[in-house]
Amino acid sequence: MDCLFCRIVRGELPANVVFENESVLAFKDINPLAPTHVLVVPKTHLASLDDVPDDPELAGKILLGVRQTAEKIGVAGGYKVVTNCGEAAGQVVHHLHFHILAGKKFVP
Ligand code: 5GP
Ligand code: ZN
């Protein structure tokens, strides 16, 4: 798949990786909006949350990857998770990703 985050997952483009398991890769956002801003992406290409299949095992692994990333980077208990689904919501990269944001207050 010729997709920016697929290329990062494959190691074809550099990224500042902070966590990895069999299901997800987590790396620092190139344009951080908070003192901590990490993106968690599934290793398989899914365009957005809309495209997550009715597969509780896969969905659970992705969610666990988010939680495990938060633990690994030391923000457990104090972070926000955001996923933009679709261009109307501000999604720019069409490979599912969860923003982990911490270190400042956000509204809402
Ligand atoms: P979206 O708006 O799609 O939810 O978020 C895309 C995010 O990907 C943005 O926060 C943007 O800064 C980040 N981003 C875009 N290109 C790259 C890149 O090449 N490397 C990294 N690490 N982050 C990127
Ligand atoms: Zn992709």
pLDDT tens per residue, the chain (108 residues)? 899 999 999 999 999 999 999 999 999 999 999 999 999 999 999 999 999 999 999 999 999 999 999 999 999 999 999 999 999 999 999 999 999 999 998 887
Supply the pLDDT for residue 89.
98
Ligand 1 atom with the shortest distance to the CA of 93: 3
Helices assigned H by DSSP within 10-85: 56-72
Using alpha carbons, select from 8, 28, 7, 25 the residue that is nearest to residue 16.
28
What's the full length of the chain, in residues? 108
- Give dist(CA 64, CA 11) in Å, integer: 22
Supply the pLDDT for residue 10.
98
DSSP three-state, residue 22: coil
Supply the pLDDT for residue 38.
98
Residue 93 CA to ligand 1 centre (angstroms): 7
**H or E element at residue 42:** strand 36-42
DSSP three-state, residue 21: coil
Ligand 1 atom with the shortest distance to the CA of 83: 4
pTM: 0.98
Q: Are 1 and 10 in contact (CB under 8 A)?
A: no
